[in-house]
Amino acid sequence: MKAILALEDGKVFTGQSFGAATEQWGEVVFNTGMTGYQEVLTDPSYAGQIVVMTYPLIGNYGINREDYESKRSFVRGFVVREYCDHPSNWRASYRVGEFLTRAGVPSISGVDTRALTRHLRSYGTMRGYLATGDVNPEEVVTRARTSPQLSGLNLVDEVATGENYTIEGSGPRVVLVDLGAKHNIVRKLRDRDCTVIVVPPGTTAGEINALSPDSVFFSNGPGDPVDVQNTIKTSRRLIGTVPLFGICLGHQVLSLALGGKTYKMKFGHRGSNHPVKDMRTGRVYITSHNHGYSVDESSLAGLDVEVSHINLNDNTVEGIRHKKLPIFAVQYHPEASPGPHDSDYIFDQFMDMMRGEGQ
Amino acid sequence: MPIKEGIKKVLVVGSGPIIIGQAAEFDYAGTQACRALREEGMEVVLINSNPATIMTDVNMADRIYIEPITPDFVTRVIEKERPDGFLPSLGGQVGLNMALQLAELGVLDKYNVKLLGTPLDAIKRAEDREQFKSTMERINEPVPESAVISTIDEAVEFARQVGFPLVVRPAYTLGGTGGGMVYNINELIDTCTRGLKASIIHQALIERSLVGWKEIEIEVMRDGADNCITICSMENLDPMGIHTGDSIVVAPTQTLSDKDYQMLRTAALKIIRALGVEGGCNIQYALDPNSYQYYVIEVNPRVSRSSALASKATGYPIAKVATKIAIGLNLDEIKNEVTGKTYACFEPSIDYVVIKFPRWPFDKFALADRTLGTQMKATGEVMAIDRTIEGALLKAIRSLEIGVPGLLYPGMENLIEEEIEQKLITANDERLFVLAEALRRGMLEEHICNLTKMDRFFIRKIKNVVDLEQHLRQQGPSALTPETLRQCKQMGMADAYISQVTGLKTDAVRALRQAKGVEPVYKMVDTCAAEFEAQTPYYYSTYDEEDEAPPTDRRKVAVLGGGPIRIGQGIEFDYCSVHSVWALKEMDYETIIINNNPETVSTDFDTADRLYFEPLLPGDVLNILEKEKPEGVIVQFGGQTPINLAAHLVRAGIKILGTSLNDIDRAEDRERFDELLEELDVPRPPGGTAFSVSEAVEVATRIGYPVLVRPSYVLGGRAMEIVYNVEDLTNYMQTAVKVTPEHPVLVDKYFLGEEIEVDAIADGETVLIPGIMKHVERAGVHSGDSIAVYPANHLDRHAREQIVDYSSRMALAMNVRGMINIQYVLYNGQIYVLEVNPRASRTVPYMSKITGVPMVNLATKIIMGHKLKGMGYQGGLYPETKLVGVKAPVFSFGKLLQVDISLGPEMKSTGEVLGVDASYPVALYKALLASGVEFPRQGNILFTVADKDKEEALPIVKGFSGLGYNILATAGTARYLGEHGVPVQRVNKVREGTPHITDLLRQGDIHLVVNTLTKGKQPERDGFAIRRATVELAVPCLTSLDTARAILEVLTDFQEGSDVALVPLQEYLN
């Protein structure tokens, strides 16, 4: 079956459909990871987005039972150069196409993904519309143009838990404010024996305090951070009462709560190869990224907040630390999945902070 | 961190001559290292014995020593130059060994030289078997269990602990015999019994066998601040069991999930940290295809063949960055030259597929054992880039230049089922083609998987091509709709391959394709999958939508490279191509290079203005030229590869710059060449062309034996032979060649005279001969396998004048613009022409260096219209230097079983070295030493020479005897020597019973062997067995009396401890 991806600026790519026979709008973004499509497809932070993989062969190792980052896929569409329908890996249990079809994700192969990536790099991420079947390209362009903007949508509620649940452990109590948390964040905490109490994004400071946490952890998630005002309010109230930590959207939420500002990046960072410098040690780590918004460094001037990590490629803020209180956060993904595990130490620092050490 | 304190002058060590397993990649690495050091303001001193390298060019380092890379010579360089630092890790294993030896000898301490890069204890931790094992155990990284055993009981005990399968490797056996895989206790006992018996020291290594596991490699970098990054992951198509140098390799890994990959990546970082490597490092894993289990197989704490491949595959300059790390810079302080904006501290992301395919020398060594295993046999490799596996694979196959445009390989259709299965199980160089044939016959993918242990992902990709091939064959030309054509091209099918299966002529396929608008686009290798804007003008073709390489409107010229390194076409041609590009840049042309060899300097992204990494076949090259529209193409620097393309290019309307196609053809076409010589009254040995066996006999009878016979179409002396009588001639004609009216055989009188060679530069008016070389071995030994001496010694004025006269007249008559190479034989006071090559030859780098004439630079400028006189050069013979330069060949016989080492008209060497000194014996000594010849100062020399050579051998034997050597000889030779008053001890031939020659060789009782060929090259002959035994026991063996005479000369003139002066390149002309 034919498929068409149209961008709001009129650019059209045609190819074959290999996922759900449906259509979707979304913000078109590219990911440069050469492995990890299963994790990308199931990472809730991609909600609202049509994901382009720059690596040309996708599906080689199929879909397996273990590497889900959430219960299902939240991507709006999936764009690849070549889709492999004969996966080969000892853990493979499904073809990617079957998974996408079940997940209702329209998908297109046969696209010059490099040309598309270059386009997005030059003109920035933009809205797109992915349609399958016999459709008129001009119509699809129109639909792309009339799609809503990503900012202003309440994507977090779409992906986050609606109610509390607890994963028991023998160690400290972590309240994880779920903005679309990846499974591997929970796994990392569980590996460290934490009791993890997962709460919805709208949980108030009072409700969280009632859980008597040793720390509060704001997770990754989709969309524009300014759209999660309730969570920002909650985190602001918690400042100074309990150690706070955030990853990705959680990092942006904490930055906003502390008085900083965020902005939308031209095409964001999505991939597994970004060098991030830990300003305290001078060491550089290769990290996993997935963000389209960033904390404005200049907005932190005068606050009790220091930049703890920067991206070596473009010098953007990749981590912040409160100068006095036990609060820190990183923009990238120390939990990996997909990507390098080099930043596992961030979780150790989190544990130290909870224990009142290492600040 | 700033540059290490006190480091202002650095000694870099190269890897020496090209041998199997150590090829041009170290010229690429070394060149990057020298440039990186100078960029940081260092004074660079270099030692490398290989003159055919860019790194030994005068502008690459401040002081260059083309001297033997031995502890003695390196020490003397240190003594003389007093460098602050020593950088060994760019010089391959040779470099690392030098670091270990010099440290052990206390040289580095004595002269206060800092070892740069990976520290000594880290090198030891990686190189020493036991230390490596214990380091891996400390960090919980698994290495395959192994044990050295000397009894069967020990073997059984080991098997009880580890289980099966196991691999048994007896220590020190001939030809690696006696070992193998064992699957149960009985096999273990049998194999160990045999193996221990075959082992000279009665020992065997037993190891867990990982045959069939996935073989994965990761390139890692670490800086002094402990920052670690991985550059590239690679997956071998051929699983464990085949040396990675002999495996088809794809980058990045294809069948690993992120979890699998990150597991190995994390381990890689752990390993490089535990070892303490500072710089680049290659880590090889065996990964169970059915679990997370893996073993660390090997770590190379240095740049390697794989790192060169990783650099070209990703665009990340590993050697350059490793060098900067070595002098103290950190990854986040080193600029990423690809983007020009970011730093070297990131991991490349690629958005294409890279395939490396090995190039084996079996076309040259028809009798060699072609089986692939743990001993690498490839001399070179090609790399191909595309957006599909199929595309990269087919591009790689045609880049090999083995005469197959696709997956159809001659002879496959005749294999019976059993042969197919056997060839799938036991791999040789043809396995991929056998696999394609199996698929063509409908063999189940699962079955192929079981037989080859290759991942079914790759088998499916090959099947995709075979299916399309079958479709085209069934449908014929009517199948070629625009959609199918596009599909064919996306799968990398060349027009010639489509032609082969549809029956449509290649040109017609091309025309049809172009008419339908199915044209390639070119995409950039940018290290970052298009995330950032990049500056690299490094492109590959693919059939996709967007083209990223719009031609500029500058004046431009394309230079065609030499493709993979093979016997007969080595690194010399890369040297020439690079120099041609540099000369064009000097003239302000935009330069375009087309090549596919990942090991080389020519394919470094900053050599030419534009690099196209593509096969050197007509279709692929034309696509680029038609798009770029250069003023013309230079074909004379890449060896025979571009010369073979010239006719195709001209037919397509492309202009060949330099000597015209017509004149190239006059040198290549036997009849036209004869006519030319007749016209010029330049003599050549009498001969003729034979279209049948009887005609050949007729010609031979007319001109008299011995005769040199060869097929009319040859590359580098393939299938050439000297025959001495009618019986041998008939035998050769019937077995060695296929003589047909289209493929006649050339029969020439063989003059056993002195061989002389010149490279000349001509501009149509003036002919400059930079120098005359004389070969130590007489005609009959391929020029590439001969020791060459410049200036030609003992050559009288008359001969010299004749050579200059003939060379000049031929160059003018052939309208040479640029380079020409001519080989002569001096026989009975007369000079005869043997061969003319209308292109740069393998001696060009050597002659350029020793004479100081920038030959390729001048030739390129002439090609672009300059005149020699205008550049300050006169015609005729260039004034001779005071120094003597001796070029000696280097062989890789140890790696190639069943290959006869005797020298003859077929080229066998893989590399060369240069020795330079004011005196001939010292220059020769240096060259031989650098080539690996050990000079026994006393001991036993075995002579076993053919009857025809006995008289000539006598004075040589006497000479050695007079120097105090004991002379041993086999019956016939001993009798002859005894009769002529030489004290000699007779030894048994193998069939005469023990103790025979092989026993003596094994016991170390023979220190040098002189053996001349009787006839035939069948492995069962005695001489062959002796020669092979010398290779495997590392005893020098000379098969030409001329070489023996030269060595005698060295040993006579040159006593041990004599003062040998070091001569830096910069002083050659003083």
How many structural domains is chain A composed of?
2
Q: Which pLDDT tens digit goes with each residue over A107-151?
A: 999 999 999 999 999 999 999 999 999 999 999 999 999 999 988
Q: Which of A13, A16, A286 should be substituted to probe chain B, the one whose Cβ sees the most B Cβ atoms within 10 Å?
A: A286
Are A52 and B423 in contact by the 8 Å Cβ rule? The answer is no
The residue of chain B with its CA nearest to that of A118 is B530
Q: Please judge whether B349 and A39 are an interchain contact, meaning their C-beta atoms are less than 8 angstroms apart.
A: no
User: For residue B237, what are the contacts with CB-CB under 8 A and spacing of at least 6?
Assistant: B247, B248, B249, B250, B454, B455, B458
Residues A37 and A160 in one domain: no
CA distances (Å), B43 to each of A228, B33, B81, B976, in order? Answer: 59, 12, 11, 59
Residues A212 and A262 in one domain: yes
Closest approach of B222 to chain A, Cα-based (Å): 11
Domain B129-139+211-348 identical in fold to domain B362-375+386-518:
no
Residues A161 and A106 in one domain: no
- What pLDDT, on the 0 to 100 scale, is given for residue B736? 66
B487 Cβ under 8 Å from any chain A Cβ: no
Of B290, B531, B546, the CB nearest to A115: B546
The pairs formed by B289-292 with CB atoms below 8 angstroms and a separation of 24 or more are: B289/A90, B289/B212, B289/B213, B289/B214, B289/B239, B289/B455, B290/A90, B291/A90, B292/B260, B292/B263
- Identify which has the larger pLDDT, B748 or B670: B748
Q: Please judge whether A340 and B457 are an interchain contact, meaning their C-beta atoms are less than 8 angstroms apart.
A: no
What is the band of B992 on the pLDDT scale with cuts at 50, 70, 90?
Answer: confident
Q: What is the CATH number of domain B686-739?
A: 3.30.1490.20
CA distances (Å), B506 to each of B494, B497, B623, in order? Answer: 9, 8, 14
Q: Which pLDDT tens digit goes with each residue over B277-321?
A: 999 999 999 999 999 999 999 999 999 999 999 999 999 999 999
Residues A202 and A332 in one domain: yes
Give the residue numbers spanning the domain of A76: 2-145
From A122, A145, A168, give the residue that closes a domain. A145
B244 secondary structure, DSSP code? G
Mean pLDDT (whole number) for B853-866: 98
Residues A122 and A246 in one domain: no
| Domain B129-139+211-348 bears CATH identifier 3.40.50.300 | no
Residue A137 lies in a domain: yes
Residue B399 has pLDDT above 90, yes or no: yes
Q: Please judge whether A34 and B387 are an interchain contact, meaning their C-beta atoms are less than 8 angstroms apart.
A: no
- Identify which has the larger pLDDT, B1 or A301: A301
- What pLDDT, on the 0 to 100 scale, is given for residue B1019? 46
Tokens of residue B401, six digits: 């230049």
Q: Which pLDDT tens digit goes with each residue over B746-761?
A: 899 999 999 999 999 9
Closest approach of B737 to chain A, Cα-based (Å): 46
In CATH, the architecture of B146-208 is: 2-Layer Sandwich (3.30)
Q: Which pLDDT tens digit goes with each residue over B199-231?
A: 878 888 899 999 999 999 999 999 999 999 999
Describe the crossing of helices B258-275 and B129-138 by its angle, rounded to 10 degrees: 120
Q: Which of B259, B266, B353, B453 should be substituted to probe chain A, the one whose Cβ sees the most A Cβ atoms within 10 Å?
A: B259
Residue A182 lies in a domain: yes
Residue B1056 has pLDDT above 90, yes or no: no
Give the count of beta carbons closer than 10 Å to the beta carbon of residue B683: 16
Q: Which fold has domain B934-1053?
A: Rossmann fold (3.40.50)
Q: Please judge whether A54 and B349 are an interchain contact, meaning their C-beta atoms are less than 8 angstroms apart.
A: yes
- What pLDDT, on the 0 to 100 scale, is given for residue A358? 58
Closest approach of A130 to chain B, Cα-based (Å): 19
Q: Please judge whether A57 and B388 are an interchain contact, meaning their C-beta atoms are less than 8 angstroms apart.
A: yes
Closest approach of B352 to chain A, Cα-based (Å): 6
Describe the crossing of helices B389-399 and B495-502 by its angle, rounded to 10 degrees: 90
Q: Could you say which of 3.30.2010.10, 2.60.40.790, 3.30.1360.150, 3.30.470.20 is the CATH number of the domain covering B660-684+751-881?
A: 3.30.470.20
What is the band of B336 on the pLDDT scale with cuts at 50, 70, 90?
Answer: confident
- What pLDDT, on the 0 to 100 scale, is given for residue A104? 97
Residues A164 and A81 in one domain: no
Closest approach of A214 to chain B, Cα-based (Å): 31
Residue B618 has pLDDT above 90, yes or no: yes
Mean pLDDT (whole number) for B440-456: 97
**Mean pLDDT across chain B:** 93
Using the Cα atoms of residue B975, residue B977, residue B982 and residue B984 in order, give the sign of their dihedral: negative
Provide the CATH number for the domain around residue A108. 3.50.30.20
CA distances (Å), B855 to each of A50, B665, B860, B959, in order? Answer: 58, 23, 9, 40
Q: Which pLDDT tens digit goes with each residue over A312-324?
A: 999 999 999 999 9
Look at B118-122, B315-319, B334-338, B881-885 and tell me which has the smallest mean pLDDT.
B334-338
- What pLDDT, on the 0 to 100 scale, is given for residue B948? 86
Residues A170 and A127 in one domain: no
Residues A218 and A140 in one domain: no
Q: Which fold has domain B362-375+386-518?
A: Carbamoyl Phosphate Synthetase; Chain A, domain 4 (1.10.1030)
Q: In chain B, where are the structural domains located?
A: 9-116, 129-139+211-348, 146-208, 362-375+386-518, 522-657, 660-684+751-881, 686-739, 934-1053
Residue A150 lies in a domain: no
Q: Which pLDDT tens digit goes with each residue over A149-208?
A: 988 888 999 999 999 999 999 999 999 999 999 999 999 999 999 999 999 999 999 999
Q: Which of A66, A188, A266, A273 should be substituted to probe chain B, the one whose Cβ sees the most B Cβ atoms within 10 Å?
A: A273
ipTM score of complex: 0.98
Residues A185 and A41 in one domain: no
Residues A133 and A36 in one domain: yes
Q: Please judge whether B546 and A67 are an interchain contact, meaning their C-beta atoms are less than 8 angstroms apart.
A: no
Q: Could you say which of 3.40.1010.10, 3.40.630.30, 3.40.50.1110, 3.40.50.20 is the CATH number of the domain covering B522-657?
A: 3.40.50.20
Residues A140 and A221 in one domain: no
- What pLDDT, on the 0 to 100 scale, is given for residue B691? 87
Q: Which pLDDT tens digit goes with each residue over B677-689?
A: 999 999 999 998 8
Catalytic sites of A, residue numbers: 248, 333, 335
Report the candidate in B1036, B1026, B899 with the shortest Cα–Cα distance to residue B969.
B1026
B346 Cβ under 8 Å from any chain A Cβ: yes
Q: For residue B791, is the peptide bond before it cis, meaning its omega torsion is within 30 degrees of 0?
A: yes
What is the band of B716 on the pLDDT scale with cuts at 50, 70, 90?
Answer: very low
Q: Which pLDDT tens digit goes with each residue over B797-821?
A: 999 999 999 999 999 999 999 999 9
A272 Cβ under 8 Å from any chain B Cβ: yes
Are A317 and A297 in contact by the 8 Å Cβ rule? The answer is yes
Residue A359 lies in a domain: no
pTM for this model (two decimals):
0.96
Provide the CATH number for the domain around residue A284. 3.40.50.880
- What pLDDT, on the 0 to 100 scale, is given for residue B989? 87
Residues A41 and A119 in one domain: yes
Residue B1041 has pLDDT above 90, yes or no: yes
Percent of chain B with pLDDT over 70: 97
Q: Which pLDDT tens digit goes with each residue over B185-202?
A: 999 998 898 888 878 788
State whether residue B528 is helix, strand or coil: strand
From A96, A121, A145, give the residue that closes a domain. A145
Q: Please judge whether A118 and B345 are an interchain contact, meaning their C-beta atoms are less than 8 angstroms apart.
A: no
| Pairing between β-strand B180-182 and β-strand B166-170 as defined by DSSP bridges | antiparallel
Q: Which pLDDT tens digit goes with each residue over B892-904?
A: 988 887 788 889 8
B260 Cβ under 8 Å from any chain A Cβ: yes
The CATH class, in words, for B9-116 is: alpha beta
Q: Which pLDDT tens digit goes with each residue over B360-393?
A: 999 888 778 899 988 899 999 999 999 999 999 9
